[in-house]
Amino acid sequence: MKADLPGERFWEKKPLASLSKEEWESLCDGCGRCCLNKLEDEDDGGVVFTRLACHLLDIEHCRCSDYEGRQVKVPTCLDLRVNRVEFHWLPVTCAYRLVADGQPLFDWHPLISGNRESVHEAGVSVRGFAIPETGIEELEAHIIDLL
């Protein structure tokens, strides 16, 4: 199912700041990687991912279970449209990071493939390896290597 948005490949023609809400949301590939707990090195600013998912992430569907209320329930969750922050903490496969860096989307991205499942079929989503963060204290024991 291809996103029914005006202007093919709008992400190649418009800067992130000028995207409509619909265009912005369609850039999300549904991988769920942004919802994984991360650790940042205080010395060099490097970011590593853990397999521990935010308690609001529905791991099977790779979607937030309370997208509209997430900032209230998880104060550290950022709304990227409001908080124009560096995208270095997002996975290198993230469409927001790719577009910000002037890079093309991957072939498995739903806007390219026309299939919402292609991100899962490509093995890019957290489905199958993420676990809930609830009750976990040792984040370092759950560090993983993403693409």
DSSP secondary structure, the chain, as one string: -----SSTTHHHHS-GGG--HHHHHHH--S--GGGEEEEE-TTT--EEEEEEEPTTEETTTTEETTTTTHHHH-TT---TTTS----TTS-TT-HHHHHHTTPPPPTTSHHHHS-TTHHHHTT-SSTTT-EE-TT---GGGGEE---
pLDDT at 3 over 80: no
Contacts of 79 (CB under 8 A, 6+ apart): 71
- Max distance between CA atoms of the chain, in angstroms, equals 46
Residue 78 has what pLDDT? 81
As given in the structure block, the two tokens for residue 20 are 């409509």
Q: Which residue type does 28 have? A: C
Residue 83 has what pLDDT? 63
Which pTM does this prediction carry? Answer: 0.87
Quickly state the pLDDT bin for 46 (edges 50, 70, 90): confident
Residue 143 has what pLDDT? 94
Average pLDDT over residues 11-19: 91
Quickly state the pLDDT bin for 112 (edges 50, 70, 90): very high
pLDDT at 84 over 70: no
Cβ distance 108 to 124 under 8 Å?
yes
Phi, psi dihedrals of residue 143, rounded to the nearest 5°: -65, 140
Quickly state the pLDDT bin for 2 (edges 50, 70, 90): very low
